[in-house]
Structure formats: C-alpha cells, structure tokens
Structure 1
C-alpha cells in the first residue's frame, strides 16, 4: 500500500511502521467517501454516535475519557536546538501568586539523574514511548496542508495516528489527501508528525471507545525544531504526541504545527512572518454619500474594505467575534464576513502591509455559550451538518445541548458522561434552592470545554476569498482577555511599541480550555499566545518589534475587554453583536489613516489615557440615558481608566506592580524597548495622578 507514496514520505512511514508496529496501515486520501468510512468505523466501535440527521445532517457525538478533555499544557514540550532556551527562569521559581506559568515546558526531567533531558535525550525518550505503541491497531497516514495546498503560505505535513477520531477531525480542520502527496512529489517539504493514544492492544483484548493514557504524567506533546541526527532527511521540524486523543493535543496540524512550529519558522525564515492565535474578520463599508432629491433614497459610495485580526485566550469570545452579526441599525452600510476564527499566518506584502490568511479549513469551537442569541452564524454552520460534537449532552430525540444553548435544559438528557439526567433532579419547592440545583444540573450536562468541529465553508458569512490563500491586508489588531475589573472596553495604542507592550502584558481570567487552569483566576497570557510560543519568549516579543520595523504600513493595535462588571456583578457591556461598535471605530480610524496618513484625533470622540487613546461615548454611539436610533444604553464606566482608583481588583498601582513582576521573569531576554515602554507607562500613570499606597513609591514600579 505504501509503494504509491513519495519516496521521502515512504522513508518516514517505513520508520514509523518499524517503531510503532501496527497491525494495519490505512492511507487517508481526503475524499468524502473515506471520511464517511472512517465515521462508520467509529460508529461501529462505539466511539461516535449519530445524532438527529434532521437537525444536524451527517453529524456525530463523541464522548472522551473524563481525564482527557483539554489541552495538557504541563505535558507540552518545546525542545529547541542546542544553545537556545525557551525561558531562563525555571517554572518552580515563578511565584504562584503571580498567575503565570510558561505555556510549554522545555524538557522532561530525567528520573535517573534529576536533570532536564537534552533535546536529543527527549527525542530518544519519545521513540522509546512509541515503540510498539500501535500493536493491535491501525496506523492511519494523514497527508495534510495548513493553508490551501497551492498557496505560498502552505505548510505540508504527514501525520501518523492510531486514532480514527483524529483522522475525522483532521479531515475537517485541514486540507487532506492526495493533493498534498502530489505537492510533496513535486518537491515541497513536509513535517513528520507522530501521534498515538499510547494504548497497544494484546491479542483478543477488547478496545475502549476512547483510548488514552489515564495518568497525566504519561502524556507528551513534544515539538522539535532541529533535525533528528539519525534521520536528517526529515528536515528541521517534527512533532511527537503521545497518550492523548483530545483535539488540541492530537490534531497536530492545529496548535502544534500552525502555532508552535509555525511561530519558530516565522522567526527563523529568511523572509520574516508571523503565526498568531488570531481570528480574521473582513469588513466592508458602503458609505452613504447623500439622498436623491427626487426618489428620497439613500445614495451610496464605492465599497471600502478593512481587515481586523483579534487575539483572545480560549473561551473568551473569539469565535463569536469572528462570526459577528452586524446590528440591524448598521446593516445598510456595513457588512462583515469571516475569514477564520482561531489562527492567522501573517506576511509583509510588497506595499509594506501585514497580510493574513487562515491556515485552517474548519472551526474547532467551544460549545458552551454558543446559541442563536450569542452566535447565530455558528449555529447555522452547525445546522448545515457534517460536524463532530465532543463531550456535549444529547437529548432522547438526538439533539445536542450545552450550557447557554437555550434558557432551560431539556426535561430529559444524557450528559457528556453518558448518564441520563432529568429535570426532577433540580426541581424544588424552595425557589432559591431550585435555582442553585438547576445551575449545578446544567453544569453537568456538557463539559465546560466541550467542542464542535465543523467546516469553515458552511459558515453563512464566510468570506468569498477565504480559501484562495491570498493575504488580507490588516487594518487593526485587537487583543483582549476576560477582565471583570479595571480594564476598559477599548484602548488604541499610540505607537506600535506601546501596542506590543499592552499585548505582551495581556491578562485574562482562567477558562476550562486548559486541564490545569483554575476557573476565574487571573493569569498573564502574552498576545494570547502563552501556550503556543515555539521559541524563547523574549525573542518572540523582539520579533514583534522587528516586524513593526519591517512593515511601514503596519496596523494599529487595540486592547479590548467585553467582560467588565459593576460592583454588584452585572456586565457593563452588552457584548456579542454590539462589539461591532469597536470594530467600526477601528475601521473608521483606519479610513482616516488612509486619507490623512495619520489618525487625527477628534476631541469629542476620544480621550487620552495612560494606556493609550480611549473612545468617548460619542465615538461608539453610546448614550447613558436614552437609546435612540443607532445609540445603545451603556454605563460610561466601561470606557474609563481611573489612575486614582483603589480597592480589590480596581487598583492600578497593584496592576502595574504585578505587570512589573511578570515582565521581570524574562530577565535580560526582555527587549530593552519594552523595558523603556513600560517605564514610560508608569510615568504616564504618575502624571495622571496614580494612587500610591502608603509606604510605597511610584519609582519602585519601574523595571
């Protein structure tokens, strides 16, 4: 069967066969028939369950092992070439109160010596784990491309896996099949990708629906960026993932290749580029230029095109923004379309602009919170079918359900662990008790990190050019996290360097997308890339600064926060479709920049804060008293930066102090420009009247 493969791929597969010792080999050709066969096999084994085909045609439900439900950050390793360090400060030396850990580890500890393994020792350790790991199983060979196969952006890979579930997800999330093999035959390089659930079967042993290693310490997601000395023909890069079947750990094309490996490539390639954890949104503005005197109809000018990218940690509304629904009051002049919801590969074009493409072909979205109210376009994408749901609840008539899909859960539902749940479990004569029980009931239906995998092509607002491989010139970059206190709705950085600092010090409250994260705990997440940076963190920041030097027409950088709450716990911002107002403000700023060369501030629209330029209510059409025409009601507190504020969660001195402590972790890896930029930030807060606690000084905040 492998004789038809390109010779250099066959060399890899021959090695994989020798090491993994599978019973069978299957080359996935990327056809719809092969995908259907894979799904049928998963159904017959009990790994997938068909759901209601009337509601979701050709769609299935998977239930993972309860220990394998999220990315395993603590078991993710970035093994760099000799002489390179992912970080200098050991994870154990970071104060636990700071709310920061390195997103990946540089190596495993050798049990015999107590020392960190070298890169080649780590590789040898992985080969030892893979020895005979597929005994009793089928080895699937998955040729894949990140980005359209014929695009100049395309990066090709060959993934081996003993998980048919992974094959099905790769079919949706990447371009798979014979087209990739043809490009490799023509001379295009590829990245060898190893994956195994790590559960060989003995003769006669019955398999389980979701095989995986049950102990976290037995899972490894390992990235290499130097050649294997024993197999140099495979190139500089490879990935070896062992022990987990969960998407972020096992769908290697996604986070492993498209971010960790790609970010290293982007820095090291002769022509510099970027691989970022960003959505891509295309915005079209058709401005009204007047009203026809005779017909009284509005007249419109030519279309103006804008592209927004935005980076958020997982489960912070990134997909909702990527599939943004323009509020009704703006639809006569504004239209948005989705290019991608998670990853952007960014290159500098001949005009000096940063241009982005989406390297994926599917959405791997967080289900909880997704509904027709919050993201109708995502729901329409799912209703088109051809989707996989993982760890959601299912009703007795085959509908799927999760927290937030509707106001009330179904009367009877089978939860993500396969247990029947009924509304009688939370009904109570005491209304307060019933409310508490109902909340707990809902939380058990679907896992908080339950997912859907669905094709981009089905999205009702997918951009017509999304799959061409051509880059979209970026007009604005948004960075945001989940902050219930302190951070304003929106800030535009005055300079690229100021924007890089704000993105590098991004903080967010923890979500369920990571297995070891405390829900609600505040953590630093630089550029929303903390778990995905594939080389030294300080050098990654320097690369951002370098790109700013190389791209004369670089976009403006914004920080946003949809999640700020009042003292009584109520959200200050409606969010969802109303987030378009910030997108519109960024586009209009870009328009002024195109016409004037710079953004000339309009006094009634903005105010200057220590963090940067903040919009005033007028700029976003916010009215604090009466909503009329295109205005909405909002608390003006959502826009404020008050250096004099104090109190738990609202103390700018404390915030700056924690940012300093965090930046100090990078030691001399931190670029001097960011040191200077942070010290300037402190100066601006002092000038604005920063409240300094007794016994403290503002100067002590400086790096």
Structure 2
C-alpha cells in the first residue's frame, strides 16, 4: 500500500495508484521534487511513467497514433510523423545557453531566460497527458553512464526516445542525480518557440516537435554533457564510433557536420555509434561509448546502391519512424534521392502535395523535406558491433574530422601529431551548411569539431581541455581530416564509394602497412598504396591522373583558410597560446611551400 502523504498534492491528483507505487519504490526525493515542480508548472491532466517495458511501448505508440502525432503506414511496424512547416530543423535563433556571453553561442542571462521559457511553459500541458521517461546515456551497467529524465506532452517524442535510448527506470533508486529535460508541444506558435539550456542540468523546450529541438537526450543533452566533460577532463563529442577491419578491428571516431558523410561513414564498418561519443581516459587509454542506442538519421539521398545497409533497415519489419517524408496514397513513403520514381501526389509536411506544386513565391515544393529523417534502433543494423554495449568502452586509435568543402581540402590526410590534428583539422573545420539547421544551405561556415551548434563553453576552454586530454594519454589516437566533396571545374573528384578506400588506408597506417608523403598540411597517401587499395577494396583501377587531381595541395586555399581561423581564435579572449602557435607553424609550412611551388603543389613534386 502506497503512503499517499509522501507525495505532493500535484502528483497525487495526476498519477494513478499503480504509477504512484512505481514512484514510491524508487525512493528518490530529487525525482519527486522535480516532477512535482513540472506538474505544477505545466498543469497536465495526467502523468504516465514510462519504465520502458513492452507494455509501455505499445501504450506510447497507441497514444501517438490516437492524437495524430504519428500516422500508421502499410508496414504495421512503420509510422510517419510531420513537423510544422517552419519547424523542420534545429532552431539556432531560438536556442539559448542560460549564461553570460560565450563567443559564437546564443546566450541569455539565466534569470531572464528562465522567466521567459517558464512563462511560455506555464499551463502548456492542460488537457494533455504528461509522459516521463527514464534513461541512461551510455550502457546501463557502465560506471560512466549518465542518468536522464525526459518530461514531455508528446507521445512522438517519448516514442522516439524509447527507440533511441536505454531505459533505466530501476537505476533511479535512491537520491541519485540525473539530467532533466522538459518539453511541451505548446500551441505550436513558432514565434514563441524556445529552447533554453540551464547548465545546472535542465533543458526547457516549447512550441516545437522537430526531434533535434524536442528529444532532449540528443543534441540538447550534448550541451550539458560537453559542459560536464570540460569541467571533468573528458570529451563529449559529435562523433560516430566505428570499427574498421584490418588484421584486427581498429576503433575510430568520426566527426562531421550533419549531412556531410558521418552516417554513411558509420555504415562502412562495425557500427557502435552514428552520431555521439563519450571519450574518457581509462588508465592512459582513450575509450569511447555511445550514449545512444538508436539512430535519428537524415534520409535525403539514401538509396539502395550507395546505402545498402540503411536501405535494408528502412525496408524490413523492424520499427521505424519516418519524419517529413512523403506519404503516398498506398501507405508507403517516398523521399528525395531514393532512386525511386517520384509519385504524382501524396501528403507531406505542408499538407496535400502533387508533382509540380509551388509555394506562394512560385518556388517548387519538394516531395520530402531536405532534412527528412528516420528513427530506428541500433539493433536493426546488421553491421552493429557486439561491443556497442561494452561497459568498458572501446579503445580509440584514430579520429576523423570531416567537412563538406568543395574547393580546398584533400580527401584524406593524417596530422603530424595530436596538437596539429586537434587544431588544424578539428578546431579549424569550415563546412558547407546543411539542411539540418535553419538558414541558407551550402554557405561555408566555421564549425570546429562539428560542434558549434552544441558548444556550451568558450572555445578557448574547450580546446584547452582537448589538448590536455591528449597529453594525459599514454598513446594518443592518430588524427585525420576528410573531405568527400572536393571539386574541380569538371565536378566532384570522388565517387561516394571512395570513402571505403580512405578508411582502409587509415587501417593500413595503424598497422604500418601503408606509406605516406609529407606535405605542408599533413601526410597524404602514396599513389602506389591507393592503386593497391582501390583494387582490393573496390575492385577497380585508379589512375595517376585521378590521384594528382585529388591530392594536389591547394596551398593558397589552405593559407586563406588558416588565416581566417587564426583571426577567429585571436578574437576569443581565453584561446590558449598553444592554439595560435600551432596555427603559426602551419602557416609557415604553407608559406615555405608557396615560395617554392606557387599556389599549388602536386604529390609528384613532393615525392
């Protein structure tokens, strides 16, 4: 029998006796205080505690269908979700860190920001059910896991989280600490969309349903865990974790801005993570964990030829939530770039759609949004590494920092050392903006470590922690830059499948099987090694002409890039002097080569 008197009246009136019994068993006063405060703020009609059981999943899915947040598809395990036409991507202009000013980050004074977002959240769940999810970021049995609670009035959000994260209700026994995420659909008034991040451990999100703004444990949690990591001396990164095979499996991480090759890269090896990584120093070894257990991926351009594993996942009977693709009349879906014929008509995020439909400005409306997504569990992928749940993590031997750069960076290059890689490859990233953020696509923007949208501390503090992290390791990972999008006047210089060769070259480098050429910007592959690897990996030839075009160092472009980057870091007060010293050495190397070779230098000239 539950003693009702131990619970505040706000909870007693909204939780069933069975739910109160569950809460009572946890004996967590921090949790009760938090939930009662949110109930009083948002005023839901009822509260449902989601333990993560099969029964919970069926209930949440049913509620999502009943309230219209999801629509059933012909495959009984597939559903589709539509966001507001103006709520299709991360909302930079409406997302704030509640703190003093931080360069390149939207901030608001904490008192002002809390007053605003709490005012909008007040009463936002009236006549609605509130769901409470309990999760572990990282394997539940890992001593490095981080507990988190999501509160939302969206069955779609909690359904997504049940697919993307590890349920951990029983781990909340006793007064354990946890991160807190509060979300309400609100009235869908985009002018009052707000995402407020209190670095004390709470995120508030309202008037949005796009998962990047509403599923708290994803990129909203990244702001909190990154702040924790900088304070505690570890890394919380926007990185995939992949096992690539050579004589043995080598685990690497890969950081790319959204839409620039990260998910496709993660499918080329043994999958542990497609998006996020916690990296800690464990007895001198860098070890990584995936805080997630699912994938929220961009679907635009996914096709059977280039992405066979993802294509298979999206067409089998495992559970999938599609978002902002086209719902066809036959109950199946279509998305741009799928390689399938474009339908004549259907329903998408903007309502009824037909081929040739235009908006009020005469611009064609695509069948699916460029940032349309799919949500699936990691266990749906046949290339899932069995160590994805290893509580001890996997040892990281290499890190890739990749960009979408049409004009300058070579396809693959290895840094001279940890500091050189962190600063000239990671901290110097510039990439074409993608549809994952609101704004004009393909504009080049500064995006260090593909983290600028998620940074919650000064870049100076962040880079200081990064450099120091490597110095404390007994063996630092090798660092690589990658660029799958280099062009010349004739178009792209690589095919999509070439990235398989770049990854194999990394494995060969780790095993001492591949040579390199020293260039002003790092080490690049030799022609002989790539000729061998293109044959072994892709079964095709590789011409010297292609090699020279791909790996000619565009010295002028690199110099201009590093001058821009240096100016940025000089403008940040707490940039470590080591950052500027590394950039100065890099610029000296480039200047030396330019005096000798001019604006470009070919591999043949350096061999």
Q: Structure 2-normalised TM-score?
A: 0.89
Corresponding position: 1:86 with 2:102: yes
Q: Structure 1, residues 632-690: CA drift from partner, whole Å, max 9, x if none?
A: 454531112132x5xxxxx4443333223322332x32110010011111110111015
Q: How does 1:412-427 map to 2 (within 5 A)?
A: 412-422=345-355
Is the 2:148–2:180 Cα contact (8 Å) retained in structure 1? yes
Q: Select the residue among 246, 251, 260 that pairs with 2:215.
A: 251
Q: Distance in 2 between matches of 1:374 and 1:545?
A: 36
Corresponding position: 1:264 with 2:227: yes
Q: Distance in 2 between matches of 1:420 and 1:238?
A: 39
Q: How does 1:620-659 map to 2 (within 5 A)?
A: 620-621=530-531, 631-633=541-543, 634-643=546-555, 651-659=557-565
Is the 2:325–2:369 Cα contact (8 Å) retained in structure 1? yes
2:9 alignment counterpart = none
Corresponding position: 1:143 with 2:55: no
Q: Distance in 1 between matches of 2:243 and 2:578?
A: 32
Question: What SS class does the counterpart of residue 474 from structure 1 fall into?
Answer: strand
Question: What SS class does the counterpart of residue 405 from structure 1 fall into?
Answer: coil
* Cα displacement (A) at 1:587: 1.5
Q: Pairwise CA RMSD of aligned residues?
A: 2.5
Q: 1:624 to 1:285 in 2, by over 3 A?
A: closer
1:97 alignment counterpart = none
2:373 alignment counterpart = 451
Q: Structure 1, residues 206-229: CA drift from partner, whole Å, max 9, x if none?
A: xxxxxx2222xx222122223xxx
Q: Distance in 2 between matches of 1:62 and 1:123?
A: 30
Corresponding position: 1:185 with 2:173: yes
Question: What SS class does the counterpart of residue 254 from structure 2 fall into?
Answer: strand
1:22 alignment counterpart = 44
Q: Distance in 2 between matches of 1:628 and 1:449?
A: 30
Please say which of residues 454-463 and 132-141 is displaced more in the overlay.
132-141
1:315 alignment counterpart = 259
1:497 alignment counterpart = 419
1:484 alignment counterpart = 406
2:451 alignment counterpart = 529
2:382 alignment counterpart = 460
Q: Structure 1, residues 567-609: CA drift from partner, whole Å, max 9, x if none?
A: 13x2101123x312111111122223xxxxxx9xx7xx42222
1:58 alignment counterpart = 77
Q: Select the residue among 170, 177, 180 that pairs with 2:161.
A: 170
* Cα displacement (A) at 1:187: 4.4
1:574 alignment counterpart = 495
Question: What SS class does the counterpart of residue 194 from structure 1 fall into?
Answer: strand
Q: Distance in 2 between matches of 1:655 and 1:588?
A: 30
Q: 1:624 to 1:167 in 2, by over 3 A?
A: closer
1:392 alignment counterpart = 325
Is the 2:244–2:250 Cα contact (8 Å) retained in structure 1? yes
Question: What SS class does the counterpart of residue 410 from structure 2 fall into?
Answer: coil
Q: 1:140 to 1:608 in 2, by over 3 A?
A: same
Q: Distance in 1 between matches of 2:429 and 2:166?
A: 33
Is the 1:323–1:337 Cα contact (8 Å) retained in structure 2? yes
Q: Distance in 1 between matches of 2:592 and 2:111?
A: 52
* Cα displacement (A) at 1:121: 3.5
Q: Structure 1, residues 1-56: CA drift from partner, whole Å, max 9, x if none?
A: 35331332111111111111111211122122322222222222322111121xxx
Q: Select the residue among 464, 481, 484 that pairs with 1:562.
A: 484
Is the 1:624–1:635 Cα contact (8 Å) retained in structure 2? no
2:5 alignment counterpart = none
Is the 1:255–1:532 Cα contact (8 Å) retained in structure 2? yes
Question: What SS class does the counterpart of residue 379 from structure 2 fall into?
Answer: helix
Question: What SS class does the counterpart of residue 292 from structure 2 fall into?
Answer: coil
Is the 2:566–2:580 Cα contact (8 Å) retained in structure 1? no
Q: Distance in 1 between matches of 2:37 and 2:174?
A: 22
1:508 alignment counterpart = 431
Q: Structure 1-normalised TM-score?
A: 0.77
Q: Distance in 2 between matches of 1:275 and 1:628?
A: 34
Q: Structure 1, residues 545-564: CA drift from partner, whole Å, max 9, x if none?
A: 01011112110110010001
Aligned length in residues? 569
Q: Structure 1, residues 528-557: CA drift from partner, whole Å, max 9, x if none?
A: 111111211110011110101111211011
Q: Structure 1, residues 115-154: CA drift from partner, whole Å, max 9, x if none?
A: xx3x233223332222212112111111122112221221
Corresponding position: 1:661 with 2:584: no
Q: Structure 1, residues 342-400: CA drift from partner, whole Å, max 9, x if none?
A: 001001122x1211111101100001011111211112222233110110012222221
Q: Distance in 2 between matches of 1:44 and 1:629?
A: 51
Q: Select the residue among 238, 242, 257 that pairs with 2:206.
A: 242
Question: Where does the alignment leave 5 or more consecutive residues of structure 2 unmatched?
Answer: 1-14, 600-607
Corresponding position: 1:519 with 2:441: yes
2:602 alignment counterpart = none
Q: Distance in 2 between matches of 1:632 and 1:42?
A: 51
Q: Select the residue among 173, 177, 190 that pairs with 1:214.
A: 190
* Cα displacement (A) at 1:693: 11
Question: What SS class does the counterpart of residue 466 from structure 1 fall into?
Answer: helix
Q: How does 1:267-278 map to 2 (within 5 A)?
A: 267-269=230-232, 272-278=233-239
Corresponding position: 1:280 with 2:246: no
Q: 1:512 to 1:186 in 2, by over 3 A?
A: same
Q: Distance in 1 between matches of 2:65 and 2:231?
A: 44
Question: What SS class does the counterpart of residue 444 from structure 1 fall into?
Answer: coil
